[in-house]
Structure 1
Amino acid sequence: MSEVHLTRRISLLQATAINMTDMVGIGPFVVLSTVADIMHGPWFLYAWIAGALLSFVDATIWSELGATFPLAGGSYNFLKEGYGPKWGKLMSFLFVWQTMIQAPLVIASAAIGFAQYFNYLAPLGYYTSKIVSGSVVILIVLLLYRKIESIGKISVLLWLGVLITMSWIIGGGIMHGNFLAPVEHVNDGLNINFAFAALLGTATVKTTYSYLGYYNVCHLGGEIINPQKNIPRSMFISIIGISLLYLLMNISVASVLPMSNIRDSEFVVSEFIHAIAGPTAATVATGLILWVAFASVFSATLGYSRIPYAAAKDGAFFSVFAKLHPSKHFPYVSLLVLGAVAFVFSLLFRISDVISAILAMRILIQFIGQAAGLLILSKRKGRNFFKWKMPLFPIPAILAVLIWLGIFFSTGKQMILTGLGVIAAGIIAFCIKARYSKEWPFDK
């Protein structure tokens, strides 16, 4: 019987759809009010701009590594190659270790947000809310249990729902509000000082969460057609498109609703549609927002399921995760395990608990560690080694590290300690595994 392999069936359109549906989940609808409340005024647009700039700069790092190593698992391969045969084992193991915790958190956060916004349609109690969020995770796993070409088509369909929803929100502000007012008054009362920088950092933690997913295509590198071109293209198209949509959506909402209403609302977009088009339209808009949230869980789960598979196939993780479905050719064990953990998390946590935790756990290893690994690899291999090259190297990589450090410290003391604790536990687990298997640093 021949060995089963991943197949390259995802086109540029489908890759872009997967990225964008991952990015526009429940995040922008849930954190819009939170960001406005943190910034205390019309300057909240700057937090969305800051998140976009960070995503764009960081995408240059992902593009170099993704185009050069177009394999399933994304960051697992990037860290392994960047840090070499010894330290690369530790860094890639730590990435998979944290993925087994933070990936289900990401999936659960979208499912919890889905249940939270569902309250606008029908008030849910504590237990019914948990039933809804858990059911979302189960349905996603069932939809993903199929061939990748079918998943690509489903992603495009879900993506259309994202574009329709965002277009309605933006068009509503243009037709019914004073659309330019939020931009004209964005600097009212603004003093650029340490207090503003602190508020911007805290708010950018929330907006960055809404941009996460621009790199999802890298986790599917082994299934992308013409990856050297399509991986970078899909990321930059996604970031530019989503940045414009987010800014226009925020401007649109602020052009209709008073800032006090935006800051205090739990369903700000639904209330915005209610103000311009009435209750029936608000109900329809809420349904579309739930569609978008569902699409995000779908896309995120798809990408994350390839990471334990890649590590196991490489012999760096439990071998059972390397199994592919014999006829559908996807890592079904990885999908089922991550889905099961996400289901449990969706029952245990609130969305406010997980946003900062997700970033705190990922920044040091995945984002900063990946940027440093690129610099190390560039020095070792030379710039001609890379299939795609960032402009002005190494400035974007260094700038990304500095910004990510600022975001990390803005997550707060408790989340910083949580992130460091996960890394420390991963190092201990790695040493135990290495000692048992007599690998570096315990080999002879």
Structure 2
Amino acid sequence: MSSPPSTGGLARRIGLLPATALNMSQMVGVGPFITIPLMVAAFGGPQAVLGWVAGALLALFDGLVWAELGAAMPGAGGTYVYLREAFQYRSGKLMPFLFVWTAILFVPLIMSTGVVGLVQYLGYLWPSMGQVSGDLVGLGLIALIVLLLWRRVDSVARLTTVMWGVMLLAVVLVVAAAYSHFDAAHAFDYPRGAFDLSGARFWTGFGAGLAVGVYDYLGYNTAAYLGSELKNPGRTLPRSTVTAILGVMVIYLLLQVGVLGAVDWHRMLDPGSAVYQSMASVVLEQAWGRGPAQVVTVLILVTAFASVLAGLLAGSRIPFDAARDGVFFRSFARLHPRHGFPMVGLVTMGLITAVGFMIGRHTDMGTLIQLLTTVMVLVQTLSQIVALTVLRRRQPHLRRPYRMWLYPLPSVLAFAGWAYIYVYADHNAPGRHPIEWSLAWVALGVLAFLLWARKERIWPFGDRQIHEQYAGASPDVPKEPVTP
């Protein structure tokens, strides 16, 4: 099947291999180097490998949702367009607005975990660094990143390639070091009742581990945002998604099992221990000495810095694209008069990244992950799964180059998995109330939408217009608005 024509003058040049590499480069950053101890602590032992497998399955089921929506509406800008197309019949622009509203929160929170991890690993090179010094370093790095992005950026392809290469080198070195001193007695030293499926303890730990696992797999949908530049998106999207998830799962399992065989997992249960703070550095030092460990630590620091830089660059464009399309506040569509970048989005996400970093530093990484996943689950993952079903019914003639395998089973399983993570969020972050905070943020978003809608005189304060942009012979040919 030939590729449909693209929009915006963008050529369809990205094939299966680069699309898969792009997904994997966004999925594997500094995450596994800082979350393996979290996964072990959540499960309470080496059975933590279940978290990586379960996370991969949930990512796979949800990735098929992205594949169908992205193939049917390639290059549309991602979730906010899928929600706009599906929910416009009843709630106008409310759902796409809420997605952008929540993206302003969860994208920088994801970036803040990278800064927290960077400061943790910096502590290996700077053992005397205290709490206040670490806080100042992290805030200074966030300010530096915003300043570096305060200029015209024509392409991040080179940065992404370099980051991927540095990350891959760090992973290979850690895996090699771990397996060069591998002890199976440590790797498979399961505690009593580790697989007791009848106990509440197992399922509570499973919920916490699943949240950590899914956090580490985030990025499997990256190619969907570049649908207008993909060759044969109906084939490339599902294949690149599945291949990237399975490939990253293998990497995570190799890392997890290797680390468990190299160090005593009981040491990972102490948040103040060196293994918990800088796991990869400790593995390298035990295997090959201090010098190689310091080198790999520097590689991890570079990976963390570059991933936050690229993430804030891309994230700041989400509210800009939505505002330009009339789905969000107009102020976010303003460009810098000289350098031509979205100022408001960059500053807003930079500030929230700083707040998230301080939350992570003064609580724990697990709390930060619970906060970002709960707010993301409500308006992106669950809503997007519902959008798939709504579009199947509302727009049955929408051109779908790819249709989900075994529909609706994967979408039902994805919905159940995300709902499971959400329900257990409060229990996994005691005293932090991530569910209540996520509901409060969405409620505040609804209020912001009503104020914005009143000013713009759109639904519910004006006529509701239905614009089935992609219904027709070609997903790239928009249709005229129709009266409901």
Q: Give the alignment's TM-score, normalised by structure 2.
A: 0.82
Answer whether contact 1:201 1:407 (CA < 8 A) is retained: yes
Among candidates 197, 207, 213, match of residue 207 of structure 1:
213
What one-letter code is carried by the residue in structure 1 that aligns with 2:409? Answer: I
In structure 2, relative to structure 1, the CA distance for the partners of 1:10 and 1:172 (3 Å cut) is: farther
CA deviations 1:327-361 (Å, max 9, x no partner) are 98765653454234424543565253421100010
In structure 2, relative to structure 1, the CA distance for the partners of 1:101 and 1:189 (3 Å cut) is: closer
Q: Which structure: greater helix fraction?
A: 1
Among candidates 362, 365, 385, match of residue 379 of structure 2:
365
CA deviations 1:132-179 (Å, max 9, x no partner) are 32343344442585445x311221111011111111122223332136
What one-letter code is carried by the residue in structure 1 that aligns with 2:456? Answer: S
Query: Match for residue 391 of structure 1?
Result: 405
Task: Give the CA deviation at 1:321.
Answer: 2.7
Query: Match for residue 425 of structure 1?
Result: 444
Structure 2 residue 318 is the aligned partner of structure 1 residue 307: yes
In structure 2, relative to structure 1, the CA distance for the partners of 1:11 and 1:320 (3 Å cut) is: farther
SS of aligned partner of 1:120: helix
Measured in 1, the distance between the counterparts of 2:368 and 2:437 equals 11
Query: Match for residue 222 of structure 2?
Result: 216
Answer whether contact 1:165 1:285 (CA < 8 A) is retained: yes
Answer whether contact 1:72 1:223 (CA < 8 A) is retained: no
What one-letter code is carried by the residue in structure 1 that aligns with 2:106? Answer: Q
Among candidates 22, 26, 31, match of residue 30 of structure 2:
26
Measured in 1, the distance between the counterparts of 2:336 and 2:237 equals 25
Structure 2 residue 88 is the aligned partner of structure 1 residue 74: no
Aligned residues: 440
Query: Match for residue 121 of structure 1?
Result: 125
In structure 2, relative to structure 1, the CA distance for the partners of 1:241 and 1:266 (3 Å cut) is: same
Gaps of 5+ in 2: 1-6, 271-275, 428-432, 464-484
Answer whether contact 2:329 2:452 (CA < 8 A) is retained: no
Query: Match for residue 93 of structure 1?
Result: 97
Task: Give the CA deviation at 1:363.
Answer: 0.3
Structure 2 residue 178 is the aligned partner of structure 1 residue 173: yes
Query: Match for residue 292 of structure 1?
Result: 303
Measured in 1, the distance between the counterparts of 2:76 and 2:334 equals 13
What one-letter code is carried by the residue in structure 2 that aligns with 1:342? Answer: T
Measured in 2, the distance between the counterparts of 1:323 and 1:80 equals 22
Measured in 2, the distance between the counterparts of 1:27 and 1:412 equals 22
In structure 2, relative to structure 1, the CA distance for the partners of 1:218 and 1:305 (3 Å cut) is: farther
The worse-fitting range, judged by mean Cα deviation, of 413-422 and 90-99 is 413-422
What one-letter code is carried by the residue in structure 1 that aligns with 2:210? Answer: T
Query: Match for residue 49 of structure 2?
Result: 45
SS of aligned partner of 1:119: helix
Measured in 2, the distance between the counterparts of 1:16 and 1:144 equals 30
Gaps of 5+ in 1: none
Measured in 2, the distance between the counterparts of 1:354 and 1:218 equals 26
In structure 2, relative to structure 1, the CA distance for the partners of 1:11 and 1:67 (3 Å cut) is: same
What one-letter code is carried by the residue in structure 1 that aligns with 2:316? Answer: S
Query: Match for residue 241 of structure 1?
Result: 247
Answer whether contact 2:14 2:229 (CA < 8 A) is retained: no
In structure 2, relative to structure 1, the CA distance for the partners of 1:203 and 1:347 (3 Å cut) is: closer
What one-letter code is carried by the residue in structure 1 that aligns with 2:46? Answer: P
Answer whether contact 1:22 1:299 (CA < 8 A) is retained: no
What one-letter code is carried by the residue in structure 2 that aligns with 1:428? Answer: L
Answer whether contact 1:59 1:215 (CA < 8 A) is retained: yes
Structure 2 residue 195 is the aligned partner of structure 1 residue 190: yes
Query: Match for residue 165 of structure 2?
Result: 160
SS of aligned partner of 2:303: helix
Among candidates 278, 283, 298, match of residue 272 of structure 1:
283
The worse-fitting range, judged by mean Cα deviation, of 55-64 and 258-267 is 258-267
In structure 2, relative to structure 1, the CA distance for the partners of 1:127 and 1:221 (3 Å cut) is: farther
In structure 2, relative to structure 1, the CA distance for the partners of 1:52 and 1:207 (3 Å cut) is: same
Answer whether contact 1:36 1:263 (CA < 8 A) is retained: yes
Task: Give the CA deviation at 1:5.
Answer: 5.8
Task: Give the CA deviation at 1:77.
Answer: 0.7
What one-letter code is carried by the residue in structure 2 that aligns with 1:177? Answer: F
Answer whether contact 1:9 1:224 (CA < 8 A) is retained: yes
In structure 2, relative to structure 1, the CA distance for the partners of 1:230 and 1:320 (3 Å cut) is: farther
Structure 2 residue 391 is the aligned partner of structure 1 residue 377: yes
Measured in 2, the distance between the counterparts of 1:383 and 1:412 equals 42
Measured in 2, the distance between the counterparts of 1:344 and 1:5 equals 36
Structure 2 residue 107 is the aligned partner of structure 1 residue 103: yes
Measured in 2, the distance between the counterparts of 1:290 and 1:398 equals 39
Specify the structure having the higher radius of gyration (Cα).
2
Query: Match for residue 132 of structure 1?
Result: 137
Measured in 1, the distance between the counterparts of 2:397 and 2:189 equals 44
Measured in 2, the distance between the counterparts of 1:138 and 1:278 equals 34
The worse-fitting range, judged by mean Cα deviation, of 372-381 and 409-418 is 409-418
Measured in 2, the distance between the counterparts of 1:329 and 1:5 equals 18
SS of aligned partner of 2:376: helix
Measured in 2, the distance between the counterparts of 1:99 and 1:393 equals 28
Answer whether contact 1:76 1:310 (CA < 8 A) is retained: no
Answer whether contact 1:28 1:207 (CA < 8 A) is retained: no
In structure 2, relative to structure 1, the CA distance for the partners of 1:226 and 1:161 (3 Å cut) is: farther
Task: Give the CA deviation at 1:375.
Answer: 0.5
Task: Give the CA deviation at 1:435.
Answer: 2.4
Percent identity of equivalent pairs = 34
Task: Give the CA deviation at 1:249.
Answer: 0.1
Among candidates 357, 367, 381, match of residue 346 of structure 1:
357
The worse-fitting range, judged by mean Cα deviation, of 203-212 and 389-398 is 203-212
SS of aligned partner of 1:177: coil
CA deviations 1:397-438 (Å, max 9, x no partner) are 111111110000111161111111111111111122222332
Measured in 2, the distance between the counterparts of 1:233 and 1:332 equals 36
Task: Give the CA deviation at 1:298.
Answer: 3.2
Answer whether contact 1:14 1:156 (CA < 8 A) is retained: no
Answer whether contact 2:156 2:310 (CA < 8 A) is retained: no
Query: Match for residue 466 of structure 2?
Result: none
Measured in 1, the distance between the counterparts of 2:444 and 2:357 equals 23
Answer whether contact 1:59 1:235 (CA < 8 A) is retained: yes
Answer whether contact 2:207 2:420 (CA < 8 A) is retained: yes
The worse-fitting range, judged by mean Cα deviation, of 278-287 and 66-75 is 66-75
What one-letter code is carried by the residue in structure 2 that aligns with 1:271? Answer: V
For the aligned residue pairs, the C-alpha RMSD in angstroms reads 2.9
Measured in 2, the distance between the counterparts of 1:137 and 1:117 equals 16
Answer whether contact 1:72 1:306 (CA < 8 A) is retained: no
Measured in 2, the distance between the counterparts of 1:187 and 1:391 equals 39
The worse-fitting range, judged by mean Cα deviation, of 232-241 and 174-183 is 174-183
Measured in 2, the distance between the counterparts of 1:187 and 1:416 equals 32
SS of aligned partner of 1:43: helix
